[in-house]
Chain A
Amino acid sequence: MSDMNTQAVARYRNNFLKEVEERVEDGHWVRMCMQCGVCAGSCPLGPHWEHSPQKIFMMIRAGKREEVLTSDAMWMCTSCYNCIVRCPRKLPITHIMHGLAHYSHRLGLAPKGQPTREIAKLFWDSLVKTGRVNELKFSLAMYFKDGFGQGIKNAMAMQGVGLGLVKAGRLNPMEILGGHACKDKGGIQKMIAKAQEIENRKKGLTA
C-alpha cells in the first residue's frame, strides 16, 4: 500500500490537484469550486469534522496532499446530499468526498481506527467472501471491534432488537456457523477482481 503512495508522490511531485483529477472519482471537478462555502454551511456534520468540503478542495489546490489524505473529513460524510443540491457550481461533492476516502484508503493513509472506515472494511470483507453480507457476523464484528468487554456490552444493549429480528424470521442464528453464500461464490470473487483491475489500469494505480 505505501508503495502505491510513494509511486504517486513521485509521479505527481507537487501537483496534488492533478493527482486528484486523475485518480479520485469525480476529482476533475475540484478545480471548479468557487469557494463560496455553501457546502460547508450546509453539511449537518460540519461542526464535527476537521475540514469542510470547501476547505478540502482549497487544500487540494494548495497541494496539501498529506493533510488531505489523512483527514477524517471524507469519512464523516453521511451522504445526505445537502451539499450537492446546494452547490452553485454543481460539484458532485458527496461523490468527491467518497472518492477521496476511497483513494486515501487505498494508499493506506486514511486515519487508523476511524469508525466509518472500519465498518466499511468489515462490510466489504464480508461481501467479498461469500457474495453476501452476513448480517449477524457483520453486526457482531462491529460490536466487538473495540475489544471483548465493549463487544459484550454492545451485544447486550442490542439484545432486544436481535431477538425481535429472530422472532420475525429476519435473522437466522444459525448464520453464525459460516452462513450461506451466493450460488457462484467464485464467480463473484473473479468479477470483483476484474473490476478492480480495470479501475487500477484506468487510474494508473498499481497495487
Chain B
Amino acid sequence: MADNKFAAYICSGCGIGDVLDVKAMEKIATKEGKMQVVRSHPFLCNEEGVQLIRDDIEKEGVTHVCIAACSRRAKAEAFYFPTVALSRANLREGVIWVVAEGSDHDEVRQEMAEDYVCMGCAEVKKMKLPAGNPNRAENKRILVVGGGMSGMTAALEIAETGYEAVLVEKTAALGGMAAKLLKRVPFNGAYAEAQPTGAAELAARVSAHPKIKVHLSSTVAETAGAPGRFQVKIAQESGNVAEEAVGAIVQATGFTPYDLAKLPELGGGQANVVDQAGLEALAMAANGGAIKRADGKEVKSVVFVQCAGQRGSGGNGSGQHLEYCSGHCCGTSIKQAMYFKDANPEVDTVVMYQDLRVPGMGEDFYRSAQNKGVIFTKAKVDGVTGGDTCQVRMKDLILDEEATVDADLVVLATGQVPNAGVNLDQWTEVVTAAEGGSEEAKVQKIELQKGSVLNLSYRQGPDMPQFKYGFADSHFICFPYETRRTAIYAAGPVRRPMDMFQAIEDATGAALKAIQAVENAAAGRAAHPRAWDLSFPQARLEGCTQCKRCTVECPFGAIDEDERRFPLFNESRCRRCGTCMGACPVRVISFENYSVDTVGSQVKAVNVPDEFEEKPRILILACENDAYPALDMAGIQRITYSAFVRAIPVRCLGSVNTIWITDALNSGYDGVMMMGCKKGDDYQCHFVKGSELAHYRMSKIGDTLKQLGLETERVVTHEVAITDNARVAQMINDYVAQINEIGLSPMKGFG
C-alpha cells in the first residue's frame, strides 16, 4: 500500500454547502474515511476545481480519488482521471435533492451525506486501477456468414468503412432470396410501384471489392477463439478446408419459407397452389409478360391467401404452424398482385386478408394496388383445393357469410423460418444425456451438430442462443443488435421476421457493431454495455471449489473450463456484468474496480444507529443501468424520499453476492431493497439474465433470514425501469413504512 495515496474532494456547489455541513464531512473523510488528502471546493467541476485534483494527482502522487459531489452519472467528462482509481459519493442527486427541505430534516440529511462520504472513501480504498485485458487480440477482419441481401450489405458496409470482410456463402452464387425475386417492394419514391431488387448489382460490387474475400459453396466448419481472435475453418464443397482468422462475426443466414407441404388444408402440395417464392419463380419466367401456371395456362384469376400457416391461425384456426407474423408478406402479396395487374389489368386479382399489415410507407403501396384494381377482401380462408380450377373456401368477415371462390392460381403467403442453427436448450439436453452415456444421445448430438451454422467450439454450444420461435438471439427491447455471444451479431430475418428494407438496415447496424467489437477487443476493453471498461474478472483459483456456478450462470458464455476443470475466463467475451462474482459461493471472483470488497466495505461503512434512535437503515442495491438512473432522476425532479436509505449502484443485480445482504442484516440494517431491470421473456436486463438470476437467488434467501430470526420482508426485490423516477421514490417510502410496521431489526448492536 506504500505507493497508494488516497484523497477525498468535497464539493459545496450546486447548493450542497447550503444545506450540508461540509466541514463536518471533511472531518469524517479524514477520520473515518482515512483519506490522506481532504479538500473541499465551492465549484469542483469547474476548471479550477478539476485542476486542484489534477495537481494532487500529478504533484502529490494521489492514486485514489473519492469525489463527493454529484452523481457518478453527472460530470463524467470533468471528473475523468484515467490514471487513478475513482469513486463518487452522490451528495447532490442522492441527498440534497431527495431529502425533504427544511431544518426538521437537517439531522437525517447530514447523516445521509456523511454515510455517503464514508462509503465513497471505503469503496475507493478497495479499488484498483484496471490494467486492461492482457489477452488483447488485434485481428480486425470480420466474417460474414450468408451471402443474401443482409450478408452482402454487411460485407459491403464493413469494407466501405475500411475493414476487411470475409463472406461465406453456402450456395454457388451470391444473392440469396433477393436474387430469386422479380422485383421488391418500393423503398422510396412515391411507393406506388415495385422496384428492381438490386441484388445482382450488389453481388457484383461485393465480388469486385478489394477488401472483401468471398467463399462460395462453403460453410463454416468450426469457429474457435474469442473476439479479436476467432479461428474459422471454412469447408468448401470440394472437400477442401480453408482457414480464416477474424475478429468478429456477422451471422446473416436469413430464412427458409415455411414448408408448403405442411399446409395440405390450404392446398399445399396440390396443383396450382404456390407460395410466394413459387409465384416469384412464375413471374421471373414471365418476365413482365402474362404470368403462366406450371401447366402453361395463362392465369386469368388469382387469389392470395394471407397469413397462411402464420399467426397461430394455421390459416384455418387450427392453432398449428407458425405462431408469429412474418411482417413482410402483406407487402409482398401486394407487390405480386401488381405483377398480374401490370401485365394484364383484366386478371381477377383478389387478396384475402384478416388484417393487412403494411408497415412504414406500405400504406401508399397498398393504395396503389387498389388503384390498379386489386381487390382486397377481409376474409378468413378455411380451405383451398388445388387443381385446374382451384377453390378457395372462405368466410367474408365484413359480410359475415361463407363463400367459395374459383381461381386459376392460389398463392399462399407463408412465413419466414429462421436459419439460426442449433437450438441450445435442445443441445444442452442431448449433451447431458450423451455425457451420461446414452448411445442414442450421442448419435443425436452428431445429427444436431450438422444443423449448426457457426460450429462454435464454445462450452455453451455450437451456435448463439435462440430466442422465442427459434430466431437468433437479440436484446430485442433495448439493444436489438446485441446477442449473448460477444462480437457475434445476427442480422436480417435470422434475427426476427423482416422485409428487405429492414434487412438492409439491420445488416448495416450489425456491421457497425462488429467494427466496434473488433476495436474494443484490440483495446482490451469490454463490449456493450460497459464498452469503456478495462476491468475483467479475476479468480483466486486456490479458493475455487469447482462448483461451476460461474461457468453455467455467465449469460455470455465467457467462461470455459481449463484442463483441471477450473473456470477459464475469456476476457474478450466477458461483458463485465459480474454475474459470476454474484454466483460464486466462496467469493473468489472479483474485478479490479468492482469486487465483493468494494461493495461490502460500503455496506459496512454506513453508520447504523442503535435501536433506541428509531432511525431505520435500509440498503438499496440498485442496478447502474436503469434503477440507479431512476433514483437520480427522482432527485433531478426533486421528488423526495426517505433519508433512511443508502443506495449502492451495482453493475447488474446478477452481480449481487448474498454475502452483502447477510452482512448488512447482521450489522443491523433493517431491510434490503434490490432494484434491477425487468426479467422474463420481455427482459430489459442489460445483461439478459442477471436480473432473473438475482430474483431466483433471492427467492432462496428465506432460509437464511429464518436462521437469523428475521422476517422475510427484510429483503425485497423490485423491477425498476429507467423511467420509474416517481415510482421508485414511492417504493422507498412504502418500504420504510413497512419496516416501521414490522419493527426495527433485532440484530442491531451485534454486528
Contact = CB atoms under 8 A, between A and B. Distances in A.
Contacts of A35: 376, 378, 398
Using C-beta atoms within 8 Å of the partner chain, give the interface range for chain B.
10 to 19
B376 A17 contact: no
Interface stretch (A54-62, A155-163, A172-180, A194-202): A54-62
B396 interface: yes
Interface string B365-376: 011001101011
B396 A62 contact: yes
A32 B399 contact: no
B398 A32 contact: no
Interface in B79-132: none
B231 interface: no
A31 B375 contact: yes
A190 interface: no
Given A17-B375, A62-B377, A31 B396 contact: no
B375 A34 contact: no
A203 interface: no
Contacts of A112: none
A32 B370 contact: yes
B559 to A, nearest CB: 54
A58 B353 CA distance: 13
B373 A31 contact: yes
Nearest to B366: A34
Interface in A48-72: 54-55, 58-59, 61-62, 64
Interface in B394-416: 396, 398-399, 403
A153 interface: no
Contacts of A89: 367
A163 to B, nearest CB: 51
Contacts of B375: 17, 31, 61
A17 B350 CA distance: 13
Nearest to B403: A62
Contact of A58 (B356, B367, B373, B399): B399
Contacts of A31: 370-371, 373, 375
Contacts of A34: 356, 366, 370, 376
Nearest to A57: B398
Given A32-B367, A32-B371, A62 B378 contact: no
Interface residues of A, number: 13
A16 B370 CA distance: 16
Interface in B322-370: 356, 366-367, 370
Contacts of A64: 399
Nearest to A35: B378
Contacts of B366: 34
Nearest to A51: B399
Interface in B696-724: none
Interface in A65-91: 89
A61 B367 contact: no
Interface in B175-196: none
A205 B396 CA distance: 32
Most chain A CB atoms below 10 A, which of B367, B370, B403: B370
A57 to B, nearest CB: 9
A78 B244 CA distance: 76
Nearest to B405: A62
A2 B376 CA distance: 31
A54 B375 CA distance: 14
A188 B472 CA distance: 77
Interface string A1-29: 00000000000000001000000000000
A55 B370 contact: no
A13 to B, nearest CB: 12
Interface string A28-41: 00011011000000
A30 to B, nearest CB: 10
A18 B371 CA distance: 13
B138 to A, nearest CB: 56
A17 B378 CA distance: 16
B400 to A, nearest CB: 9
Contacts of B373: 31
Nearest to A30: B370
Interface string A77-114: 00000000000010000000000000000000000000
B399 A55 contact: yes
B381 to A, nearest CB: 15
B745 to A, nearest CB: 60
A207 to B, nearest CB: 29
A11 to B, nearest CB: 15
A11 B375 CA distance: 20
A62 B394 CA distance: 12
Contact of A54 (B356, B367, B371, B398): B398
A17 B348 CA distance: 12
A58 B370 contact: no
A78 B375 CA distance: 29
Contact of B377 (A32, A54, A55, A61): A61
Nearest to A61: B375
Most chain A CB atoms below 10 A, which of B356, B377, B378, B399: B399
A58 B371 contact: no
Nearest to A67: B399
A89 B363 CA distance: 10
A-B pairs with the 4 shortest C-beta distances?
A: A58-B398, A32-B370, A35-B378, A31-B370
Given A35-B398, A58-B396, A64-B399, 4 more contacts: A31-B375, A58-B398, A61-B375, A62-B399
Interface of B: 356, 366-367, 370-371, 373, 375-378, 396, 398-399, 403
Interface of A: 17, 31-32, 34-35, 54-55, 58-59, 61-62, 64, 89
7 contacts: A55-B398, A55-B399, A58-B378, A58-B399, A61-B377, A62-B377, A62-B399
